[in-house]
Amino acid sequence: MYAIDIKECFSYVLAAFNYLRIVFLFYTQIVMSSITPFLVKRPNSKNLHPITIRIIKDRKPVYIYLGQAIKLNQWDSKNCRVKNSHPDYLEINQLIITKLSKANKSLLNAEIKEDNLSSKYIKRKIISKVEDDFFIVAQYYLQLIKDRKQFHQFDIEFKRIEIFREFIKKKSLNFNELNFELLKQFESYLLNNRKLVARTVANYMITLRTIFNLGITKSAINIQFYPFGKGKYQIRFPETRKVGLNIDEIRILENIIGLSNAQQYALNVWLISFYFAGIRVSDVLKLKWKDFLDDRLHYRMGKNSKLVSLKIPDKVLNILNKLDRDTNSIYLFKEFEDVNVADEKLIRTRIKTATRNFNRRLEIVAEKAGIDKKISMHIARHSFGNISGDKIPIQLLQKLYRHSSVTTTIMYQSNFVQKDTDEALDKVINF
């Protein structure tokens, strides 16, 4: 018979126990941990379904939202990806792959080290790694604007971010590198190299600040690195000079002759804008013949969707009677005829092109009229403010301008109200 070595027997038992422990741990990690793309079944306010990365560890799920939302029928639930019926399916699927790779690496590292990490901790770790890059968050910021269908704003913000990228000559930038010194250097570059005015420079800085704030909300960026605010980089807004036409200049435009058809067309758009208290060119171009009912104009503002009802002045009726109209005409002006109004990107392009053409023709009109001031579509709003001055109570002006707050009206109108200061000056010097 063989002698029993207690120590040797114990070592075999211990080895077997360790083996079983490893197998158990491996099994539980496989069963209890998973990372998968996931489409939220509950739609958002736009009736779209957000795409997330779902992390399950120890049976506890957390979700990393990708900032993308799609229709339910655009999601391939079997392969966990966006179907090619979505116009941006390639880009969104690439984003999913990138996030999924980061998440898997973090979870695998935790399993190798046998760290008892929670799913929430893994989420924070993933987000901080992925979104500590300024330009990754900037891309997310641009997508938010695009999702809101603010295509004009998207173009502006995209250009600002690309110019900043050109300036730093880097494809990535850690948020803690975006400090006071870099911001001052960028400010100097915009002013001196690109010859931008101070107000435009301030707008660039607002874009950088917005992205930084978004980065703070989405990742583990330490607030101590925040470079904006008192005692740090302060965005300063220079006072802007708003110059509108006066009554005599408006009368000249109303009675001018010798214009080409294209110049008269642009002037009609401008005058319609002025007569209705300076409504924006985008709203003028969207005016339909059916909006004019019972001697009133009824329309919905494009900027804030407010319903507006205004009396139709006799001067507007004179213009309406001269406009081309047939039985198939829908709009007062022709820019949106036979256009799919649901295509917001196309509509935005049409508005930009039309405004550029109007402004070019209005410059010629001003020259023919002998008016030295610059005339553009936006000057119609300034001209109304200039002529109204302090003649109309501020509460009524607020309604005419469609401002949400009377404070906005007071600030806007302060550019044109000069009677009080003129009288005060006269009282001092007329002795």
Q: How many CA atoms lie within 13 A of 51 on its CB side?
A: 27
pTM tops 0.95? no
Domain ranges of the chain: 6-130, 135-225, 252-372, 389-431
For residue 378, the model assigns a pLDDT of: 86
For residue 358, the model assigns a pLDDT of: 94
Q: 56: part of which helix (H) or strand (E)? A: strand 49-57
In the 3-class helix/strand/coil scheme, how is 379-397 assigned residue by residue? HHHHHHHHHHCCCCCHHHH
Beta partners for 33? 57
Tell me what the mean pLDDT of segment 175-184 comes to: 90
Does the pLDDT at position 26 exceed 50? no
Look-up: residue for tokens 């993933």? Answer: 126
CB under 8 Å to 315, separation ≥6 — which residues? 254, 271, 275
Tell me what the mean pLDDT of segment 285-290 comes to: 91
Does the pLDDT at position 389 exceed 70? no
**Strands 296-300, 60-70: pairing kind:** unpaired
pLDDT digits (tens, 9 = 90+) for 203-243: 999 999 999 988 877 665 667 778 998 889 999 877 666 67
Can you tell me the distance from the alpha carbon of 358 to that of 363, in angstroms, rounded to the nearest whole number?
Answer: 9
| Torsion of the alpha carbons at 78, 85, 54 and 173, rounded to the nearest 10 | 140
Contact 163, 211 (CB under 8 A): no
Tell me what the mean pLDDT of segment 108-112 comes to: 60
- Mean pLDDT is lowest, of 24-38, 156-170, 186-200, 284-298, for 24-38
Q: Quote the DSSP letter at residue 294.
A: T
Mean of the per-residue pLDDT values of the chain: 79
